[in-house]
Amino acid sequence: MQNDLLFQKRKIFINIYINKMKNRNINFTDAINEAMILSMKKQKNVICYGLGIDDPKRIFNTTKNLKEIFGSKRVFDVPASENALTGIGIGSSLNGLRPVMVHQRLDFFLYAMDQLINGAAKWSYVFGGTKSLPLTIRLIIGRGWGQGPTHSQSLQSLFLHIPGLKVVMPSNPYQAKGLLNAAIFDNNPVLFLEHRWLHNTYSYVPKKFYKLNIEEPQILKKGKDITIVSMGYMTNEAIVADKILRSYGIESEIVDMCVMSPMNLNKVFNSVRKTNNLLVLDTSTSICSLSSEILSQTLRSCFNYLKSKPEILALPHVPQPTSFGLTKNFYNDYVDIIKSVKRILKIKKNIKIKDSKRIYHDVPDANFKGPF
């Protein structure tokens, strides 16, 4: 009898623990921080450096406690010299380390394109695959707060043109931790792109170390009426739009391009063959972009399955503006997504759109806390 009671108590305790772990929702910032700590504990050859990495704000809190845990030899601040620092990352990688470079703005990293394109991306190919170059580069994308044309760019499409590079862009904390772990332990150079507006979003994230597949995108929502292919921050807008559309019986299937390169579009093709309709969202302009490539390849592979003309919802082909008045109607959100879906599906009935909780258009929407 006593053993049975003990067994029941243990069973209850285990169930409570499992439920707590299932409901473990943390934000994007903490997910990145956890990935760094776990990866650095896993292997002593993982180092981390970047401008402001150990300052009081710790790069939006993503690098908190790293220097205290691992010391200044593995976590250190650097001068503002992006091209030189990328060369140091390449050299240290070739000498047995797994460096993680952090840039607070993707825009600043443009100074390092020579080392990236003519060095890191080519190395394995030049040596016939006999030499690997494990280098992870975190590039943070931001917008709003008057940042303007040189601080608000979403330039992922530039990097997709370069063979030899892997490019990932997580849209939720679960992806952020799993993809960053995968990037650090991949033997190729990986660009890890993160939108700063995602830093305060929440989702379920396991406490343990885990890696996500770094070879293909993910399907976040199943649906039958239209395929929405999205990326980064726009995935959150797609999720909000889908929630509203489903209340009217319209189901979208959301394919999240969290892995951009290698570009594997099989999930997109299979989805379009099911839904027969396509909308592609882009965080930047569509000219020579990931979104235009997705549309082009889908038309070549699934033309006979499409019932309507596919569309791209992207930014105008002009630099991002600075002023509050000009940015007000510049960026797309879930309202624009719903309008595009209505147009593609030829829906005439009125869809009531709930007011956004966004006080100002250049700060994140309070709807996007998660979990997803």
Q: How far apart are CA 157 and CA 74, in angstroms?
A: 31
**Residue 4 pLDDT:** 57
Question: At 358, is the pLDDT very low, low, confident or very high (cuts 50, 70, 90)?
Answer: low
Domain spans in the chain, listed from the N-terminal domain onward: 25-204, 218-369
CATH C-level class of 218-369: alpha beta
Question: At 325, is the pLDDT very low, low, confident or very high (cuts 50, 70, 90)?
Answer: confident
On the question of pLDDT at 16 being above 70, the answer is no
pLDDT tens-digit series, residues 66-106: 999 999 999 999 888 899 999 999 999 999 999 999 998 89
Following DSSP, what letter does each residue of 260-313 receive, concatenated? EES---HHHHHHHHHH--EEEEEEEE-TTSHHHHHHHHHHHHHGGG-SS--EEE
Query: What phi and psi, each to the nearest 5 degrees, are found at residue 159?
Result: -75, -25
Q: Do the domains 25-204 and 218-369 sit in the same CATH topology, yes or no?
A: yes
**Residue 372 pLDDT:** 44
**Residue 13 pLDDT:** 42
Q: Give the up-direction half-sphere exposure of residue 202: CA atoms within 13 A in the CB hemisphere.
A: 9
CATH C-level class of 25-204: alpha beta
pLDDT tens-digit series, residues 222-262: 999 999 999 999 999 999 999 999 999 999 999 999 999 99
Q: What is the mean pLDDT of residues 118-135?
A: 92
193 DSSP β-pair partners: 139
Tokens describing residue 172: 């939720």
Tokens describing residue 50: 């970047």
Question: At 8, is the pLDDT very low, low, confident or very high (cuts 50, 70, 90)?
Answer: low
On the question of pLDDT at 357 being above 90, the answer is no
